[in-house]
Structure 1
């Protein structure tokens, strides 16, 4: 295999990036470049057989069943307006405070993120509910759009997260441990966003006028509309964390529970079920294609020895654990500004995971850290998909103003990322305590 050199792997990655930036479909591009590389290294017959084995092995993996079940749960909750209920409950509890609706938006994004697992969907659905309410109350457009765009990234971090499921499959790591490890970073991320709002409204009170206090007789009905959702999600995430149920069992319980909640609310119709099934199958098929393509590409990268060469080069710099991880973070942020989040994860995991493990940290830590870096890409100009989603929701606000509005939250993201490097226990403590 004369072509099995790190240079070949690097050329493959460059070709992959060019095709992705040219608008190629991520799953197809990953698979085709990986297969082409294996043909070069192994020959046609061996490459096709290897790709077929990867595809069959992936599709028959038991843990892969968690993905469509959690997606189905999310689509059922879409049909019962769960995002509106979560935001309204938070707004009635916090809306009377200065910046209260911004806090409520963050809480609504966190709550909806637990049942959705998608940053883009969280931003869009919460934005449609929260943005008009904030503008009606006189909130600054930059603060309103920036809060929702940043809060939407909680959809990827707070379990159950589609990104963490994909990483667990690619890295062959426990999905339950990843979910447990993401709980504290997800909470601290939401608290950082709330702190940004608190600082902004203290410095410039005109950004977010205080509202009227809602009496408890109006708060309680709003809380009553979300109790079943809260109980279901708490059981699903808590059950995984303490080891009562596996992620696959939790996904099945979540899907069945969502159907039960929809039936209790008398919103379980054949039409809503049909839409939920169609969207679940469409999204699942797309993600399965991406996972298979990524695994084929990762085998190609492994055959070239690029990951080992990159690890040796990084160790040769003598930066130590902190310096190495900061360099990795900068690399991820640079790529994240021009690549889709999932493309970033699937492209970098085969190369960076061995380097991270060489510093003494686990795949669990890297999975959460990588997801956090991905999230920053969702609000990092110039790609920043959440920012463009918000422009679609807030048609009266220019993209430049949305960029400016998200900058304070972006700064808090950088601080949070540094803290995850300095204090790995933020990620690793809870799994170690619960034995996850």
Structure 2
């Protein structure tokens, strides 16, 4: 009976999401109803109260709003402009150089923000006018920019990796370090595709202006703040000076100090960044609390253990099970945002994957790579919507058409990491 209630509740949850109910409300409705039917009204209330209290009282959860705040301060300080200017001077002469510079800029921007939407919102204002001036193919340009911004959630500090680490009790520091190499590989893959395509069809994106070496070197001085902030936060984590929560606080202080020294930060900027942080963090924590109660409900109905039992008795190869899990994630990514996708699926897929013997850190990177696709695939595609709204001239169809090749590239990169997991696990193993 308990199994039937669990499976029915999850089916009802998917129905609510398909009907357009916000994911936090959908999960809360199902979790509360299920707990009430299973244990009674008072126990359901107690579960939500206890979960909310424990979440708010967990020190490591403070790193989520802090890293979001850090990224927003970077946006207000216009460091993204300096970053793109430097990358354009170094990579602009390549085929499709403006777009290549954008990809590299988005990757580096991820080193000071854990949110992909901040990267696409900041870089699109700078990059798209330049690409129009150079008559770049707008589909390729917008698709490449929306896709490159997803790399920001792979490069530490990453809010999604924090959520994964807290939920699964996996080392956040090792997850951060594990994200660096995959992020760089994805950057290289995107850049090589752009260069190859623009070499074969130069009209899609011609090379930019040439700059003397002295000017290139001078441009790097402007982006020194990014290296300083990244070095302090990630270097401190790598050598064990900070916990993730402490690293987030140090990162915010470092960012404010750098932006203030550059005379690009006002009290109004700090206030606006704080308001946006509260809004985004509120959404994340609403999903987190409701998903935590749902996980307890599913555990009580023994749905997760029954799924593992079915897989164990099916005698399917581990790789087939893993590919099936990734297929489900790919489908869910079409209708869920990245935060909802991670928190909704983890109670099911994490026990399954770890029961097969896969490394939790390796799977965390694979999962975040799959959520990157959720940011650029229709109909949800948060990065696509942000880009269309910020630019005001692009249609959603144009951007979705442009991201298609980059979705294929991301899937090929994921396949490479499945075939060679040591690429992901080598760097954190050296900590």
Output the CA distance in 2 between the equivalents of 1:385 and 1:266: 32
Specify the alignment match of 2:8 in structure 1: 11
Say if 2:88 is the partner of 1:91: yes
Q: Deviations over 1:261-305 (max 9, x none)?
A: 111011232211211222222222222222111101111111111
**Aligned-residue CA RMSD (Å):** 1.7
Specify the alignment match of 2:411 in structure 1: 414
Say if 2:426 is the partner of 1:429: yes
Q: Deviations over 1:102-161 (max 9, x none)?
A: 111001111112222122221121111111111211211122111101101112111111
Output the CA distance in 2 between the equivalents of 1:75 and 1:406: 25
Aligned partner of residue 153 in structure 1, secondary structure? helix
Specify the alignment match of 1:192 in structure 2: 189
User: Residue 81 of structure 1: CA displacement?
Assistant: 0.8
Alignment of 1:24-43 (within 5 A): 24-43=21-40
User: Residue 28 of structure 1: CA displacement?
Assistant: 2.9
- Mark the CA change 1:433 to 1:40 in structure 2 (over 3 Å): closer, same or farther: same
Out of 11, 16, 20, which is 1:23 matched to? 20
Q: Deviations over 1:153-191 (max 9, x none)?
A: 112111111111112222222211211221111111111
User: Residue 250 of structure 1: CA displacement?
Assistant: 1.0
Runs of 5+ consecutive residues of structure 2 not aligned to the other structure = none
Out of 201, 208, 220, which is 2:198 matched to? 201
Out of 156, 159, 162, which is 1:162 matched to? 159
Say if 2:121 is the partner of 1:138: no
User: Are the counterparts in 2 of residues 145 and 394 from structure 1 also a CA contact under 8 Å?
Assistant: no
Say if 2:284 is the partner of 1:290: no
User: Are the counterparts in 2 of residues 240 and 247 from structure 1 also a CA contact under 8 Å?
Assistant: yes
User: Are the counterparts in 2 of residues 68 and 281 from structure 1 also a CA contact under 8 Å?
Assistant: yes
Out of 46, 59, 62, which is 1:62 matched to? 59
Out of 360, 382, 385, which is 2:379 matched to? 382
Say if 2:332 is the partner of 1:332: no
Out of 305, 309, 312, which is 2:306 matched to? 309
Output the CA distance in 1 between the equivalents of 2:208 and 2:154: 30
Say if 2:231 is the partner of 1:234: yes
User: Residue 209 of structure 1: CA displacement?
Assistant: 0.9
Output the CA distance in 2 between the equivalents of 1:311 and 1:272: 49
Specify the alignment match of 1:110 in structure 2: 107
Specify the alignment match of 1:212 in structure 2: 209
Q: Deviations over 1:225-264 (max 9, x none)?
A: 1102212112211221232321112111100001101110
Q: TM-score, normalised by structure 2?
A: 0.95
User: Are the counterparts in 2 of residues 322 and 422 from structure 1 also a CA contact under 8 Å?
Assistant: no
Q: Which moved more, 1:293-302 or 1:308-317?
A: 308-317
Output the CA distance in 1 between the equivalents of 2:236 and 2:105: 22
Output the CA distance in 1 between the equivalents of 2:381 and 2:296: 30
Matched positions, count: 431
Q: TM-score, normalised by structure 1?
A: 0.94
Output the CA distance in 1 between the equivalents of 2:397 and 2:175: 36
Structure 1 residue ranges, 4+ long, deviating more than 4 angstroms after superposition: none
Output the CA distance in 2 between the equivalents of 1:97 and 1:363: 38
User: Residue 348 of structure 1: CA displacement?
Assistant: 0.7
